[in-house]
Structure 1
Amino acid sequence: MQGTETDIPDDIALNDMVCFAVYSAGHAFNRVYKPLLDRLGLTYPQFLTMIALWNEDDQTVGSLGTKLSLESSTLTPLLKRLEGMGHIERHRDKADERVVRIRLTSQGRSLKDGAKDIPGCIVAATGMPVGDLIRLQREIMTLRKSLEASLA
């Protein structure tokens, strides 16, 4: 079977593994984001949650979980912390009391102004042209969808 696309060499190295490249790039992103987010008082998962709410306010917890690829057991404590910080409010859906909705407070909306420069800082830190980053993001999303489909 030599030469097929599924051959894995006996002496595989970390740097040859796509999963390690994605994993270690994720850690590098987190190190770049940390000082930028520290000034906002947010962690990276909290920042992603705020972005999702800045894009679409007053969402259900389920909708947020789907967008962020987070389980309820991870998302609920994160939302409680954001609520404790005064950035969001949790409330019951008027049409269905079982559904919890999340909306930004005025403080949460105003936090967006302090985050406006972050995407540009991240692009600059990569040293890559925006077009290359867009293509890379699309390829990684395709990879994620393929991996998720393989689990179904």
Structure 2
Amino acid sequence: MSTYSLNINGHAQSVDTDGDTPLLYVLREDLQLSGAKFGCGLGQCGACTVMVGKDAVLSCLMPVSLVGSRPVRTVEGLGSASTPGVLQRAFIDEQAAQCGYCIAGMIMRAQALLETNPHPTDEEIRRHMAINLCRCGTHMRILRAVRRAADLLHPPAKDGQR
């Protein structure tokens, strides 16, 4: 057991845990951040996706000891139910959630994409989001939500060029 100092959604947090404990367990059990979900535990569904630094990571596979000094962002760090962030609002507006289990992971993967590629093509969105699964089949609405957020965050030029 060791103490790990983490920057979670802009706040310093300390947790006492084994270094091989998955980040997902630390977030959910120690810090009560339940946005990231346990889906498969094998890194095959993406429900547990959070950002570590600028990267979307599968928190069920990432040992807390590998986080280091990189900041961790969860869906709770993007907005709240009363004041959703741009991506959260786009997912709401496009009715991208059906059961909602995958959506926090989808939003975090999309956040990582839009931070590194503010004007992704639909193909780039599809490719980037492919690791995250939606069993309800709302993939087209999710694609529209990411496109909507990209356009809100980085409006196309007046001539339509990105």
Verify same fold: TM over 0.5.
Answer: no
Q: Which has the higher strand share?
A: 2
Answer 1 or 2: higher relative contact order, Cα 8 Å, separation at least 6.
Answer: 2
Q: Which has the higher helix share?
A: 1
